[in-house]
Structure 1
């Protein structure tokens, strides 16, 4: 950004009240703790990540969403309800293995 652009921005904010815009930008209520998403880094070998991407593309989801489903399913235990997307992924994998 040029110095003139910075000066223009400074002039604008000196002359305008942006309280309403800021109020809309800030959430009114905090996100419930069980809905907060945490970002983490995961290192996988390239061939493994390539397979994850391929499976995710087959299912029409992002690789990160697929990995999250797998982790949640693994942690859920036997008595938990399994998301239909996980069941469908298992069916697709089973069909793929039978066709090979």
Structure 2
């Protein structure tokens, strides 16, 4: 096997930086924008596999996405609030690639 080394600076993955932690109080559910708890949902069935790391404050599962998957919480600072004729609407910042 031959290794090829390309010139240039090393690639640094800042997503895994342990010093870049977010407080749980800054996180919200991406479905309802409600606060989250740093605890698995209560009553998670063992047959469903490993439980999610976060839940709503009442212990329920975070609002599933349109495919039924349990999402990770998002930073509240990444939310954009807007008023419509139907009432208030919350959507994630388009820079993150999400929309509601």
Shorter-chain-normalised TM-score: which range?
under 0.3
- Structure number with greater Rg is 1
**Greater relative CO, 1 or 2 (CA 8 Å, sep 6+):** 2
Task: Select the structure that is richer in strand.
Answer: 2
Task: Select the structure that is richer in helix.
Answer: 1
- The TM-score with structure 2 as length reference comes to 0.23
- The TM-score with structure 1 as length reference comes to 0.23
